[in-house]
A and B are shown apart, each in its own frame.
Chain A
């Protein structure tokens, strides 16, 4: 579903942030990326979404290479690529339902959605997505009143409204307590399985990676240190990722 081939990014300063990166995430798979600070995890996600333009390489979303697209074609292709962050990034003064429904905006014409509206079918679908993340009863509440864990669930529901084939998550549990973090990881795992979404998740919590990932990718200095099924990832290999970064 998501294939990254030979992805490299060199900053104008000359620093190589990513080097010849290869990865594949299949539909229904949850892949966790581990690595120290500055190892290139978030840069990888930003290159995949094309927020950053890679120096070289390809990012295949199904049969479409995002790196070959610009402007309107890139916008359309990106509709199937959803993203969540450490902070939920919700419009705080809008309702929870309105926030979820904005995930569907890109599929509708500007004219139809210009004055803050969306088709009734999308609002119904948004209610359904809220139900999927267990927050159906909070639909009419203001997003600014939610707890961190609830807000992250709403962000996930918004990404579902996009009907994505790939979901990228950049440290989605970094600001949550352990229980809420487990909830979010369980949710991501369930959605990957039930909706057949390819999930690529950057984490700092090694234990969560061991508990929920199908595969774990370790990054060190912008390069892949290992890409293995969860059961084959040794504690020592993970430990080396962080020791190297600290040195």
Chain B
């Protein structure tokens, strides 16, 4: 005897909603296990040994003990490398801005004159950004020798990528209505750029450039470690010669320069907003 429609159970004992709940729970379990596995593999790969950190505290304390008081008699000799460090960052930022602005115009979907120019500009921006500034510095040290110049070049090329991308995004997000209005007045392409696009995006571009300068000052310290001049190079030399009191002085100078650059950059960006 077959069951009529009315005789069939209203719901299945293990219906669609229950299946979905079970599947969701299983998926959550898998995701949790995956998260744990990722954390564990990082501990294994970096060979994490917290006990070494505890036993090594003595060594660190000894280093700090030998670094105080800072050797302020070295202050005059640190002035020039400090200026070099700031100027490497300035040079790199200026080079980056000069190249990034036209590149960003080509890489902005709303401004680019052709699809090919768009992809070419995006490729250049992507490549210069993807290669770390340290690698660029090593390349330029090989090409032009030791000193601040390769450092400036490395920061310049890397900044092209970073600034180019942010500039392009700023241009893509700007209000296009005034630009179209200018085009319809009969203004030429460059006139639209100088009287419409620049006044609209200039504050944002300046803000991004100042932020990049702040980043570049920090980067230029590190570049000194690979021979690209500046206070980083002096810090490396002092560490190699076990001159820890000079090291502590240089670290204080670095702290003041980085903090000062950050505050000035933030204040200027606030004024531009």
Contacts and interface: CB of A to CB of B under 8 A. Distances in A.
Interface of A: 49, 51, 75-76, 78-79, 82-83, 85, 87, 89-94, 98, 102-103, 105-107, 110, 113-116, 155, 158-159, 162
Contact of A91 (B188, B191, B199): B199
Contacts of B177: 85, 87, 89
B200 A91 contact: yes
A106 B187 contact: yes
A110 B186 contact: no
Given A93-B199, A98-B195, A105-B188, 9 more contacts: A78-B186, A85-B177, A89-B177, A89-B181, A90-B178, A93-B200, A102-B182, A106-B188, A106-B191
B17 interface: no
Interface residues of B, number: 21
A158 B178 CA distance: 12
Contacts of A105: 182, 185-188, 191, 195
A83 B184 contact: yes
A89 B178 contact: yes
B178 A110 contact: no
Between A79, A94, A102, A107, the greatest number of chain B beta carbons within 10 A of the residue's beta carbon is seen for: A102
Nearest to B190: A110
Contacts, number: 78
B25 interface: no
Nearest to B188: A110
A91 B195 contact: yes
A113 B195 contact: yes
24 contacts: A49-B184, A75-B186, A76-B186, A82-B184, A85-B177, A87-B177, A89-B177, A91-B182, A91-B195, A91-B199, A92-B200, A93-B202, A94-B195, A94-B199, A103-B185, A105-B185, A110-B191, A113-B191, A116-B195, A116-B198, A158-B181, A158-B185, A159-B185, A162-B186
Contacts of B181: 83, 85, 89-90, 155, 158
A159 B177 CA distance: 15
Contacts of B182: 91, 102, 105
Contact of A79 (B186, B199, B200, B202): B186
Contacts of A49: 184
Nearest to A161: B185
B196 A91 contact: yes
Given A89-B181, A91-B178, A93-B199, A106 B190 contact: no
Interface string B32-50: 0000000000000000000
Nearest to B177: A89
A102 B196 contact: yes
